Structure 1
Amino acid sequence: MERVQLRPYKDTHIRLPIIPSYGSAETAQLGFDHIYIIHQLGHPDNLVRMARVLQLLRISAEFVPVLPPPPPPMNTHSAVPSVLSPESIAEWHTRYRIYRDMEAAGYRSALILDDSVDMELNIKTIMRAVHRHLPAGWDMFFPGHCGAFEGSQPKPDPGFPSLRAANMPLCLHAHAVSRKGLLQLLAHLGPMPSSDIISLAIMRLKERGLLQMYSLATPAIAPHNASSPAAALPAGSKGLAISATRHLSLWRGTPSAPSAAHSTGAA
Structure 2
Amino acid sequence: MSLRKYRLESPFSCMVYTRCVITNHKFKAGPFCGLLICCRCRFTSCWQYVVRNTWCLKDAKLDISRVHDVVLVGGSSRIPKVQQLLQNVFKGKELCRGINPDEAVAYGAAVQAAILCGKGNEKLQDLTLLDVTPLSLGVETGRECDMTVVIPRNTKMPVKKNYTVTTRHDNQAVVRFSIYEGESTTTLNNYYLGDFRLKDIPPAPRGVAKFNICFEIDANGILNVSAEDMLTGQKMGITLSSNKTCEGIEKIM
Interval of TM-score (by shorter of Structure 1 and Structure 2): under 0.3
More strand by share: 2
Higher RCO (C-alpha 8 Å, min separation 6): 1
Q: How high is the TM-score relative to the length of structure 2?
A: 0.23
Q: Give the structure with higher Rg (CA).
A: 2
Q: How high is the TM-score relative to the length of structure 1?
A: 0.22
